[in-house]
Amino acid sequence: MRDVARLAGVSPGTVSNALNHPEKVSPATRERILSAISELGFVPNDAARQLRRGTNASIGMIVLDIANPFFTAVAHGVEQRLAEVGRPLVLANSGQNHEREVAYLDLFAEQRLSGVLVTPAGQVLDRLRRLRDRGTAIVVVDRKTGAREFSSVSVDDSLGGRLATQHLLEIGRRRIAFIGGPEDLSQIEHRLGAARTAVEEHGSGEIVHLDVPTLDVEAGRTGARELLDLPAARRPDAIFAANDLIALGVLQTLTLRGVRVPDDIALVGYDDIDFAAAAAIPLTSVRQPAVAMGEAATTRLLDVIADPAGSQVEHIVLEPELVVRRSTVA
Amino acid sequence: MRDVARLAGVSPGTVSNALNHPEKVSPATRERILSAISELGFVPNDAARQLRRGTNASIGMIVLDIANPFFTAVAHGVEQRLAEVGRPLVLANSGQNHEREVAYLDLFAEQRLSGVLVTPAGQVLDRLRRLRDRGTAIVVVDRKTGAREFSSVSVDDSLGGRLATQHLLEIGRRRIAFIGGPEDLSQIEHRLGAARTAVEEHGSGEIVHLDVPTLDVEAGRTGARELLDLPAARRPDAIFAANDLIALGVLQTLTLRGVRVPDDIALVGYDDIDFAAAAAIPLTSVRQPAVAMGEAATTRLLDVIADPAGSQVEHIVLEPELVVRRSTVA
DNA sequence: GCTCGGTCTTAAATCGTTTCAATATGAGCG
DNA sequence: CGCTCATATTGAAACGATTTAAGACCGAGC
């Protein structure tokens, strides 16, 4: 910057003003400075700026699994909203790994980010508190876990579970299998709980829970195999998968075994990722407004940043929506 | 840090040494300093450290489309390799948008990142040069576009195109349709070119190119519809899709129209994303070693960072591999 | 001709670390 | 006991921007 100042024949302070407070500098001087900058290829040093200003404009985001289209959709919403206000996004992937999550949170703390969006994988309340106490705004995404003290944005899992189940009952299915787990995951708990309630309210029908350890395609395959091996009388006529990855695995196994979807077994997924609509037999799915969730979380975060003291904790709950496709009605 | 020094009864310089050069500090002092740090909850300010050190340990990565599983797989490889050396990754998504790509490159320049991995979306050679001249290492991923002067890692598209085509010919198919575009994309050009060569070499058979503007699921749907509307005599008995997203769209349309895969039409995709193996009829696909590509690019980048002058430009070309599944052989 | 008010510009202090030359400490040795 | 040498610690100077109070300049008004 000193070089720029020298070339333009002004002091470093004026160069800074030209860049950050253009109204304080006469147009002629400003012009001279700008051309000196481009001539020298000067690029301001962000570290120095941050050090002096005391804040970092960037926003950090820690997602659970970057390979899951649901999370990339959320990230997309975040990115979009941030682009509007010109703040950069630093995206990090914890991969459900607590250690990596902690490492990233520590990194963000050192970087003095102005805000962090996080879907916690492990026990990180203390670290989040410390971050917050040091002036970083926090919003929890897609979780409400114990974090009553932080604003959050999530989707109503009970409603989602109910919508899917009522739909299956309405199209005449009575033996519903729910594939997903583990049950201590709040999402699973709520979706399955609401499904059970819906069956009870309906009066007829039954629901069985097929517990699987993970929420991926392979879990869907093994789950489906297990169901197909049941004696015909106990075989379900509908499957409610805890997410679309599982549903895709189920669909694959059913197809390979020659079971007709939806004729023999109807199938409902959850999330409505792009690949649900792209499946050979397009999946009926409970759509989570992922992009909207990212946007809402970002808006909330920006509010907290703007007024850390004034803004109080807020839990935004978005509504899912059932998207009916060929996997339940031909 | 001053507070920590005061509490531990030492000077700030010693606190810094305790953190960065532990061997220079006596164990007793170090112990005292560490406990002072945790008592005060001190977190070093990254901006100040960077300013003084003059470098930023972080690595930046700009991907073309974060919603495409292929790129998240590459990012995964990068992340994994970086975790080994303890460097953080800053992930950015250009979304094929030149302006956003430029904005991120400028941001990375201001941040003085030590290295950047980029899959260029637009014309950014000049900016990459400027970055490099300012001391940031650059490696181009999945492209070789005009960037002879930067190290790159890519996959042999000609080989991929040949493998897919030879396979289709070997299983007796003769009328092959290639769906993908635009042809001025080097990837498309090479895959299609090699497919044509393979057909020629084989002596019998023909290949037609169905140009589509994008490389997504919808392109596959419309492409397939177009082919199915052809008079029976001109209908292909095999489809080679430029990527798996297109192949999934094709598979969906074929399934809905009652065309049997592979009996009536065999289908080959490209990339071998996770969803290819997860399709109702598992897709035969040309596997791009995405994770390996991320790892190789990172290793190369770290080498350039370690020795910017000594290391010369290197173009690493990985080999794709044909993964045969049910969409071509029952 | 002098003062006043406003606009531009400058110089110096500052942000929180790291680094390095200089100093303090202490052990070992003749 | 004095000297040397190695080790541990200190203090001050950077790093490169932003900010703020002070100063320079200029035309206007009396």
pLDDT the model gives residue B181: 86
What value does the mean pLDDT of chain A take?
93
Same domain, residue pair B302 and B274: no
Amino acid at position A93, single letter: N
Q: Does B197 touch chain A (CB under 8 A)?
A: no
Average pLDDT over residues B274-283: 95
The confidence band for B266, taking pLDDT boundaries of 50, 70 and 90, is very high
Tell me the β-bridge partners of B241: B179
Interface test with A, best of B40, B50, B62 (most A CBs within 10 A): B50
Average pLDDT over residues A187-209: 95
The answer as to whether A328 is a domain residue is: no
User: Are residues A275 and B275, on separate chains, in Cβ contact within 8 Å?
Assistant: yes
A76-80, B24-28, B120-124: which has the highest mean pLDDT?
Answer: A76-80
| CB distance A308 to A131 below 8 Å | no
User: Are residues A75 and B66, on separate chains, in Cβ contact within 8 Å?
Assistant: yes
**A chain contacts of residue B277, beta-carbon cutoff 8 Å:** 217
Same domain, residue pair B106 and B186: no
CATH number of the domain enclosing A255: 3.40.50.2300
Q: How buried is residue A93: exposed, middle or buried, by Cβ count under 10 Å (0-12/13-18/19+)?
A: buried
Cα–Cα distance between A198 and A83 in angstroms, integer?
42
Same domain, residue pair A283 and A296: no
The answer as to whether A50 is a domain residue is: no
The answer as to whether A327 is a domain residue is: no
Amino acid at position B302, single letter: L
Q: Which residues contact B189 (CB under 8 A, 6 or more apart)?
A: B183
Same domain, residue pair A148 and A294: yes
Same domain, residue pair A90 and A181: no
Q: Does B93 touch chain A (CB under 8 A)?
A: yes
Same domain, residue pair A24 and A67: no
Same domain, residue pair B226 and B163: yes
Amino acid at position B60, single letter: G
Q: Which nucleotides of D are covered by protein (CB under 7 A)?
A: 7-12, 14-20
CA angle A103, B40, A135 (to 5 degrees): 60
Our measurement of the distance from residue B55's CA atom to the centroid of its chain's CA atoms, rounded to an integer in Å, reads: 26
CATH number of the domain enclosing B7: 1.10.260.40
Same domain, residue pair A195 and A303: no
pLDDT the model gives residue B147: 63
Same domain, residue pair A162 and A114: no
* High-pLDDT (> 70) share of chain A, %: 99
pLDDT the model gives residue B145: 66
Same domain, residue pair B82 and B163: no
Per-residue pLDDT for B109 more than 90? yes
Beta strands in chain A (DSSP E): 56-63, 89-93, 113-118, 137-141, 151-155, 175-179, 206-210, 238-241, 266-271, 284-287, 315-318, 321-323
Cα–Cα distance between B330 and A168 in angstroms, integer?
33
Q: What residues make up the domain containing B193?
A: 157-288
Same domain, residue pair A169 and A284: yes
The answer as to whether A329 is a domain residue is: no
Reported as a single tens digit per residue, the pLDDT across B279-296 is 999 999 999 999 999 999
pLDDT the model gives residue B179: 97
Cα–Cα distance between A179 and A254 in angstroms, integer?
14
User: Are residues B67 and A69, on separate chains, in Cβ contact within 8 Å?
Assistant: yes
The answer as to whether B326 is a domain residue is: no
pLDDT the model gives residue B183: 86
pLDDT the model gives residue B64: 93
Q: Which of A90, A111, A255 sits opposite B46 (nearest CB)?
A: A111
Looking at the structure of chain A, the number of domains it has is 3
**Structure-token match 């000067």, residue found:** A42
The answer as to whether A20 is a domain residue is: yes
Reported as a single tens digit per residue, the pLDDT across B191-227 is 999 999 999 999 999 999 999 999 999 999 999 999 9
The answer as to whether B129 is a domain residue is: yes
The answer as to whether B195 is a domain residue is: yes
Same domain, residue pair B162 and B207: yes
Nearest residue on chain B to A246, alpha-carbon basis: B278
CA angle B75, A44, A86 (to 5 degrees): 60
Q: Does B217 touch chain A (CB under 8 A)?
A: yes
